[in-house]
Structure 1
């Protein structure tokens, strides 16, 4: 077999790139590859290129590392294209989350929905469309995988405007499967689910352990934890074995567990993401005695972690030695990509949760909507499973949020200020048009350099 080529756009995302390159190095079945790294940040690109070349050299892997700040130089001949870009980086992300706080809107993530996610979509979609146009022109036969958020809005816009297949990947579903298996104390390989939804709002409605319904076992374990956790000192309770370090504690994700108890479906990907789809239940960020994004799933700590990892990447690149820990398989967004590629190229026909257009696979949801759903990775490409039993509550909730995505995409494509405002209102995190207009204006002003579609838009003065 000849050498295949994967182009990673947004390679300055240090954790993702290091994890992906490690997976290629340690995999015994993936074959010979060129990994082409692209990032517009020259310093980040130089550091990640140096670091990954050292990693390849250290393990004597049959991998070629190339890099460029110009993706058009590297896209010709690509077999696989992966995007992990974040327009404006962490500083723009901070604006997405911190500006809405002035209006009483608190988010722990702010990359998918609510004002932060909608704002992010406005600057991400134009950039992602340009990448998609280059893929269509320079490597139209390549598998095109997107990891950038907001996943659903980006994939919807590419489908609508460019018309090329793009597969959205996220580790949310597999992460929750692993979490639930650990909750029961069973091997992850024995625990399987079926789920349908939007990225970060996928509902796992069929949960099985060795082929048998696992819901009664989960509810029994949940009841046991709740009974033990009456202990007045939570930390003492955990130390006493109510929740050891290897067993997830329901109190760390109370909304997800309450949802499961009430509706018999489990939301992926746990509270940090899923609460953002229910802003009406957490007014002003109030969350079980804490505040979302502050002392519950601190946004600032996530930003600090990203800044530290970025600087660590530069330090590792300069340092002559390579720490062996770099080669330990790690969890994260990258973790299934090598396995997926092997299934596609070898026709393993394994099932993965991916984001692709519905096209009738889920009859109860709109035909053209991009859904996160199970599909088989075959030599012909991805073939989605037909699922006609999505429960009523998830089905209804998804319809509402699909409407928010559609308004967001329209605003991003047209620069229509009124569509931005309507998306904020329909999302439910602001409850008056006056607040929505003021918030939309401030977010546009903060990100003006990344919003070419709004350059000629008339923004209300009041």
Structure 2
């Protein structure tokens, strides 16, 4: 009799992810599973565990739900471990974005790079390394999937500090393909891409429909939209992450990304909201096409409020009597989207290709083998193998090489608690242009987040 497989989700309080993962496993129906939920907040863990059990019982699925606030209770025997944690939660995230505004530095997301992303890394990396060491000790053969940000820095740090083979997953490329399919007015199943780069700056440079290159078709769409804008000016929609509108997306909602496409023939998969942070020199004081980043362009307060609303509504489903809503079982967009498919490909050696964050290992020529890139990887019974990425050359590759420079300093600062390295990382990142400001930012961040920065005490 086959052993029941076990997946441990650390950060189960990420209710939307947890709901999506359980719904996907219920519908995938491959083997017998235990889904173990871990969160450090006992009240939230109780609510999400209740919701998970209701979903399983409602569908009469052969899935066991277990939970604990202590991950070491759950890790023994795990085949897969998934992290979706955010050290400090939404309040710390807010301050990562808002503290730099004292120094006229504006960013809309703050979870990957620039001062906010580098600050987040200082909180996240020590905890992620601790988790990895527990995996190394309690379930060393388990696959370790990370969804937490900053993705590139976390995966780099964990691989540097442990022997755990962590794989970073993000739905950015999935989002980019859906976005381009809507731009072209075709079913996303007909569209294929090749992309390479860093998490939140993965360049989709080979874009095809039914195997045919569609670069010119995309340029034609942009040209028509520009002509229409001359006749009837378009009002920008700065935040539509789920592509909810029925009409074709307008290139003017992501002007930087389409400028790159016209110039280089490649587009960032997650378009402007994330991409702008990799080019702070283009947007001094956050000035972005007549708006200000993080305030009225991709406003961070709206993003957090929206997430809190979805989160609250999801947890309430576990608290109420009766069945959960049918829509909770529908295949939904989000970070969890491909996890069940990835696991199935690994277990059954289906050798499917996914966009993953793993060491380069020769996939892209001219970039160090140990650099963590977001590239196509094949999920086999022997684990993930990177694919050689043909045609990723020119300015887009040079931009990635440049952006990798601050990752090493960010990781070393987080691992060692070295304030000077933290300041150096911000200088090399490019959003900070004088060392006094860099040092002041480090001091401000440490004062604000001191409870989450033990290495700096």
TM range (shorter): over 0.9
Deviations 1:380-411 (Å, cap 9, x if unpaired)? 11111112431210111111111111110011
Which secondary structure does the structure 1 equivalent of 2:103 belong to?
A: coil
| Structure 1 match to 2:15 | 14
Which secondary structure does the structure 1 equivalent of 2:338 belong to?
A: helix
Work out the CA distance in 2 between the residues paired with 1:111 and 1:307: 17
| Structure 1 match to 2:190 | 190
Work out the CA distance in 1 between the residues paired with 2:149 and 2:277: 14
Which secondary structure does the structure 2 equivalent of 1:386 belong to?
A: coil
Work out the CA distance in 1 between the residues paired with 2:32 and 2:289: 51
Work out the CA distance in 1 between the residues paired with 2:302 and 2:372: 31
Work out the CA distance in 1 between the residues paired with 2:334 and 2:314: 17
| Structure 2 match to 1:372 | 374
| Structure 2 match to 1:344 | 346
Aligned with residue 446 of structure 1, among 437, 448, 452 = 448
Which secondary structure does the structure 2 equivalent of 1:396 belong to?
A: helix
Query: Number of paired residues?
Result: 448
Work out the CA distance in 2 between the residues paired with 1:190 and 1:116: 38
Work out the CA distance in 1 between the residues paired with 2:231 and 2:62: 56
Work out the CA distance in 1 between the residues paired with 2:435 and 2:264: 33
Work out the CA distance in 2 between the residues paired with 1:184 and 1:232: 21
Work out the CA distance in 2 between the residues paired with 1:319 and 1:452: 39
Shift of 1:309: 2.7
The 5-angstrom pairing of residues 300-449 of structure 1 reads: 300-321=301-322, 322-449=324-451
Assess if the C-alpha contact under 8 Å between 2:129 and 2:158 holds in 1.
yes
Shift of 1:163: 2.2
Assess if the C-alpha contact under 8 Å between 2:261 and 2:267 holds in 1.
yes
Shift of 1:235: 5.8
| Structure 1 match to 2:142 | 142
Question: More deviation in 118-127 or 434-443?
Answer: 434-443
Assess if the C-alpha contact under 8 Å between 1:171 and 1:335 holds in 2.
yes
The 5-angstrom pairing of residues 136-285 of structure 1 reads: 136-234=136-234, 245-285=246-286
Shift of 1:366: 1.1
Which secondary structure does the structure 2 equivalent of 1:294 belong to?
A: coil
Work out the CA distance in 2 between the residues paired with 1:287 and 1:136: 45
| Structure 1 match to 2:239 | none
Which secondary structure does the structure 2 equivalent of 1:230 belong to?
A: helix
Assess if the C-alpha contact under 8 Å between 1:355 and 1:371 holds in 2.
yes
Shift of 1:342: 1.0
Work out the CA distance in 2 between the residues paired with 1:112 and 1:184: 29
Work out the CA distance in 2 between the residues paired with 1:250 and 1:314: 36
Assess if the C-alpha contact under 8 Å between 1:364 and 1:388 holds in 2.
no
Deviations 1:296-348 (Å, cap 9, x if unpaired)? 11100111122223322332221113111111111000000001111111111
| Structure 1 match to 2:289 | 288
Work out the CA distance in 2 between the residues paired with 1:369 and 1:391: 17
Which secondary structure does the structure 2 equivalent of 1:334 belong to?
A: coil
Which secondary structure does the structure 2 equivalent of 1:351 belong to?
A: strand
TM-score computed with the length of structure 1 as normaliser:
0.95
Which secondary structure does the structure 1 equivalent of 2:77 belong to?
A: coil
| Structure 2 match to 1:297 | 298
The 5-angstrom pairing of residues 75-86 of structure 1 reads: 75-86=75-86
Assess if the C-alpha contact under 8 Å between 1:47 and 1:313 holds in 2.
no
Assess if the C-alpha contact under 8 Å between 2:195 and 2:206 holds in 1.
yes
Assess if the C-alpha contact under 8 Å between 1:205 and 1:391 holds in 2.
no
Assess if the C-alpha contact under 8 Å between 1:364 and 1:390 holds in 2.
no
| Structure 2 match to 1:113 | 113
Assess if the C-alpha contact under 8 Å between 1:375 and 1:384 holds in 2.
yes
Q: 1:288 to 1:235 in 2, by over 3 A?
A: closer
Work out the CA distance in 1 between the residues paired with 2:271 and 2:23: 27
Work out the CA distance in 1 between the residues paired with 2:162 and 2:226: 50
Assess if the C-alpha contact under 8 Å between 2:15 and 2:315 holds in 1.
no
| Structure 2 match to 1:126 | 126
Shift of 1:417: 0.7
Shift of 1:233: 4.6
Question: Which residues of structure 1 form unaligned runs of 5+?
Answer: 237-242, 456-462
Cα-Cα RMSD: 1.4
Shift of 1:27: 1.8
Work out the CA distance in 1 between the residues paired with 2:259 and 2:233: 22
Q: 1:363 to 1:47 in 2, by over 3 A?
A: same
